[in-house]
Amino acid sequence: MSEKNDKEIDSVSGIETTGHEWDGLKELNNPTPRWWLWIFYATCIWAFGYWVVYPAWPTLSGHTQGSSGWTQFKKLETEQAEITARQAKYAASFKDASFDQIMKDETLYAFAVAGGRAAFKNNCATCHGSGATGGRGYPNLNDDDWLWGGRLSDIYTTLKFGIRAGHNETRVSQMPAFGKDGVLKQGEIKNVAGYVIALSEGKASADMAGNKIFAENCAACHGDRGQGMREVGAPNLSDAIWLYGGDEETVYQTIYNARAGVMPNWNDKLSDDTLRMLTVYVHSLGGGEADEEPQVPPSTTEGEPNNNDMQQLPETPAATEPAGATTGE
Ligand code: HEC
Ligand code: HEC
């Protein structure tokens, strides 16, 4: 049965049907609308034009080049050139500006923070987290709890030379491994760990078993009331902010083995401009300190009720020269 002979004419419209039928509805064999055809021809012409002007067809040696010579690389280049040109006028004045001038100039400050944020994502987020919130062993840079100081100059030095980073100007200090190196016995470490936890909760008192051990072995770096000391990067132990953890087991481990976190030095890896941008960015995160401020953590101010009893601690000679403090390399 060939369809040709079976052509059926729709009785209402008088138009031939295709022979397709659904539940009594029959499809009329109308010609394709003209507007549709024109669009179809136009797209064909457009495609031919496109093949000629743009790189389009794969060839054995690569692809056709197209008469315009357009490439994504060229596009990228021009866009980057535009960006560089736009940055150039800030970059030039940024280069000569001191931190003081940057902090006072809104445009330079915004330029530094934006550049620092980008550099932070590329270089620092792996350890400090993309929001600089840190993690176990990696300090949170958003708070105002500083190991080595939160002034621009402190942060700059930390970034430039690193911490225990093997650079000869790097920041160094080494808490002794009190257990591993046999400075303290296990029971003593347990006691002083309990004392440190009490310090962080504001519950430490002079009659605790760990008090004397702390005064003799720890105060030289962590301060007589555990308030920390930035000259040696010793954390404040009287706040509830922990770098490694504040549960009994973790504090015990910290004292037994010591930690000695390492922060790479960026002196050779990043340009000085980038370092200064990063410095301003980290400073902007919330914990930045003004340059005029004395480099003393707030917890050392007199008259804090929780620590009052600690101020009468005896000044033992050991408190200025801790056992084992010199064993650090
Ligand atoms: C390999 C991991 C690592 C990378 C990458 C890293 N840091 Fe650190 N950073 C650390 C560690 C660990 C410390 C803490 C060291 C210590 O215990 O004293 C630290 C400390 C710091 C401090 C001192 C904080 C304080 O309280 O004084 C600053 C500021 C800092 N990092 C900023 C940066 C910036 C900015 C970058 C990127 C250029 C960066 N870090 C990249 C691991 C890293
Ligand atoms: C020579 C200086 C020095 C001495 C002495 C010292 N510490 Fe430390 N301590 C540090 C430094 C520096 C850090 C942190 C940096 C690191 O190791 O990553 C630290 C870290 C700690 C931490 C970790 C805090 C946290 O936030 O997780 C605890 C707890 C601690 N010390 C307790 C003690 C106790 C208890 C003693 C005495 C038995 C002691 N330290 C003696 C320098 C010292």
Domains delineated in the chain: 3-63 (no CATH), 106-329 (1.10.760.10)
pLDDT for 190 beyond 90 = yes
Q: Output the ligand 2 site: residues, CB below 6 A.
A: 173-175, 178, 192, 196, 217-218, 220-222, 232-235, 237, 242-244, 251, 254-255, 259-261, 322, 325
Q: Is 17 within 8 Å of 26 (Cβ atoms)?
A: yes
Helix or strand holding residue 191 (H, E)? helix 186-200
Residue 127 CA to ligand 1 center (angstroms) comes to 7
Higher pLDDT, 179 or 291: 179
pLDDT for 256 beyond 50 = yes
How does residue 249 score in pLDDT terms, banded at 50, 70 and 90?
very high
Average per-residue pLDDT for the chain: 86
Q: Which residues contact 189 (CB under 8 A, 6 or more apart)?
A: 178, 179, 252, 255, 256
Of the candidates 75, 113, 148, 78, the one whose C-alpha atom is nearest the C-alpha of residue 279 is 113
Q: Which long-range contacts (CB under 8 A, 24 or more apart) does 299-307 make?
A: 299/225, 299/227, 299/228, 299/236, 299/238, 299/239, 300/223, 300/225, 300/227, 306/202, 306/203, 306/238, 307/202, 307/204, 307/225, 307/238
The span from the CA of 22 to the CA of 211, in Å, is 93
pLDDT of residue 4: 54
Strand duo 58-59 + 62-63: pairing? antiparallel
Q: Is 223 within 8 Å of 187 (Cβ atoms)?
A: no
How does residue 11 score in pLDDT terms, banded at 50, 70 and 90?
confident
Residue 234 CA to ligand 2 center (angstroms) comes to 6
pLDDT for 241 beyond 60 = yes
pLDDT of residue 7: 77
pLDDT of residue 26: 87
The span from the CA of 7 to the CA of 103, in Å, is 87
* Averaged pLDDT, 26-36: 91
Residue 192 CA to ligand 2 center (angstroms) comes to 12
Buried b (16+ CB within 10 A) or exposed e, 234-255: bbbbbbeebbeebeeeebbbbb
Cβ–ligand 1 distance for 282 under 6 Å, the answer: yes
pLDDT tens for 106-122 read: 999 999 999 999 999 99
**pTM greater than 0.75 (yes/no):** no
Cβ–ligand 1 distance for 297 under 6 Å, the answer: no
pLDDT of residue 144: 85
Burial class (CB in 10 A: 0-12, 13-18, 19+), 300: middle
Percent of the chain past pLDDT 70, that is, above it, reads 86
**Could you tell me which residues are beta bridge partners of residue 198?**
none
The span from the CA of 214 to the CA of 322, in Å, is 10
Beta strand segments in the chain, E: 17-22, 25-28, 58-59, 62-63
Higher pLDDT, 6 or 206: 206
pLDDT of residue 6: 65
286: left (phi over 0), alpha (psi -120 to 50) or beta: left
Of the candidates 288, 246, 98, the one whose C-alpha atom is nearest the C-alpha of residue 236 is 246
**Could you tell me which residues are beta bridge partners of residue 28?**
17
Percent of the chain past pLDDT 90, that is, above it, reads 65
pLDDT tens for 81-96 read: 998 888 888 888 898 8
Say whether 151 sits in a helix, a strand or coil: strand
Q: Is 8 within 8 Å of 21 (Cβ atoms)?
A: no
